[in-house]
Amino acid sequence: MSDHLIFHKSHPGKIGYSLPSLDVPEVSPSDVVGSEFLRKKELHLPEVTEPEVVRHYTNLSTKNHHVDKDVYPLGSCTMKYNPKVNDAMANLTGFSLVHPNQLVETVQGALAVISGLEEQLKAITGMSRFTLQPSAGSQGELVGVLIMHKYHEMQGNRKKTVLIPDTAHGTNPASVAMAGYEAVQVRSNEKGRVDIEDLKNKLNDDVAGMMLTQPNTLGLFENDILEITRLVHEAGGLMYMDGANLNAILGLVLPMDMGFDIIHINLHKTFSTPHGGGGPGSGPIGVVENLVKFLPVPLIDEKDGQYYLNDDLPNSIGRVHTFFGNFGILVRAHTYILLLGIEGIRTISRQAILNANYLKARVKNAYDLFQDDHCMHEFVLTAVKQKKAGVKALDIGKRLLDYGFHAPTVYFPINVPEAMMVEPTESETVESLDRFADALIKIDDEAKNNPDLLINAPYSTPVRRLDEATANRSLTLRWTPDH
């Protein structure tokens, strides 16, 4: 693979850029930066032409799987197609060249976008206010639990624990621990929903609240949600909704009406902004009226037709991110919602639910279902039957790459053996769903008749199967001319 490094395309003297003539006095770097911070040796960068750069990264992009290439059914991640108009709007110079240190009077358009997006999210969730500072769902989670902590602190409550279902995302207990609480697990019942009796047994004076994904990580709607929120509220706790699966209920039900006090939203999932590879992301937090005073500062408010930064929240948990997070992502989400309108928003969820149930019906005879129940936007298959033939969920995922598809999420939720969590999203046509279903069914046939074929897959990818444990433990990330 070293032959494909851009450094090996480098030749001295090649230039891939053009800069305007210098129109200000030339300044020596040592005049503005302390000499101790200056590089002692010249930075080794490849010298290549613009076509070589474009072709290099275009070729690299075809070696990996992405949402523009084909079906990407990564359960719980909502890897939907990102309309290119979102990028066009974010690349407008008034947005792409805005500087966070500009005077408020000169960035009224940018503040209008942030305020407009907040209004959209309020309408979609029923919440009273949002902060758009968090730059990821995980950071949003932490902000939500910190708000919960601040609420109890102001009430004089000495709370110690937060309840989390056994199907929860791994970031939930991490956020709870970082906020100073202990996570207490609540069991699921035989139908894959929260076990109400176990919830009742876990509720006590120590409980600060409950973090709940709705619909849950099995792709099932928590039918007893009003009973759950009532019990938690009666025990003095707050209800936090993990919005990872919000794509299933847009315009169909308001989280506030279900009794949630706090919600985080993954703009990079639900509202179609670039997703994957560690970012960029955005995890706004919405709260009901009595928690608004705890939101991070500043909030964006309007007075006399002008937007301003409101820092007058003495009980705020404080600032959680420099400026306003990933502004380009906010522009993209705002564009997406404006284009769709409320009916388009509802259509997203209806189509996502329809696609998931159609795909589930196509493959359920080849694979076991954890719950053969009406699902929302995703469902969980198990490869227990295939494992008896020596084929694991991981092998099935690897083999799907040979058919041109990304694998579903495997081995999650952790309470499902050989789990494969499939989320097709609303972006897929019936034709693409059928191609994906046909591939899964054919792989099941291969598992029965030629299991070794799957165990050694993939075959058609740029790199064959890796020793993933060793790769994770022995990363080599630094390139040098000799290595």
The residue extents of the domains of the chain are: 2-63, 89-339, 348-471
| Nearest-angstrom CA–CA distance, 268 and 274 | 6
User: How is residue 422 written in tokens?
Assistant: 């499939």
Smallest Cα–Cα separation from 330: which of 426, 240, 266, 245? 266
pLDDT tens-digit profile of 44-79? Answer: 889 999 999 999 988 888 888 888 889 999 999 999
CATH fold, domain 89-339, is Aspartate Aminotransferase; domain 2 (3.40.640)
Cα angle: 371, vertex 447, 423; to 5 degrees: 40
Burial (0-12, 13-18, 19+ Cβ within 10 Å), 290: exposed
Q: Say how many C-beta atoms besides its own lie within 10 A of residue 436's C-beta.
A: 25
Paired with 286 in beta bridges are 130, 263
Greatest CA separation for the chain: 75
Q: What does DSSP assign to residue 416?
A: S
pLDDT string in tens for the chain (483-residue length): 445 789 988 999 998 888 899 999 998 888 888 888 998 888 888 999 999 999 998 888 888 888 888 999 999 999 999 999 999 999 999 999 999 899 999 999 999 999 999 999 999 999 999 999 998 889 999 999 999 999 999 999 999 999 999 999 889 999 999 999 999 999 999 999 999 999 999 999 999 999 999 999 999 999 999 999 999 999 999 999 999 999 999 999 999 999 999 999 999 999 998 876 656 889 999 999 999 999 999 999 999 999 999 999 999 999 998 888 889 999 999 999 999 999 999 999 999 999 999 999 999 999 999 888 899 999 999 999 999 999 999 999 999 999 999 999 999 988 899 999 999 999 999 999 999 999 999 999 999 999 999 999 999 998 888 887 887 788 776 756 554
Q: Give per-residue pLDDT as tens, 263-281.
A: 999 999 999 988 766 568 8
- Distant-in-sequence, close-in-space partners of 158: CB < 8 Å, separation ≥ 6: 152
- Shared fold status for 89-339 and 348-471: no
Token pair belonging to 480: 């040098």
Does domain 348-471 fall under CATH 3.40.50.300? My reply is no
Angle between helix 430-449 and 327-363 (nearest 10): 60
Distance of CA 183 to the CA centre of its chain: 22
- Angle (nearest 5°) at CA 118 between 112 and 122: 145
Cα separation, 356 vs 433, whole angstroms: 9
- Amino acid at residue number 156: G
Helices 393-402 and 430-449, axial angle in degrees (round to 10) = 120
Number of Cα atoms under 13 Å in the Cβ half of residue 159: 31
The residues near 43 (Cβ < 8 Å, ≥ 6 apart) are none
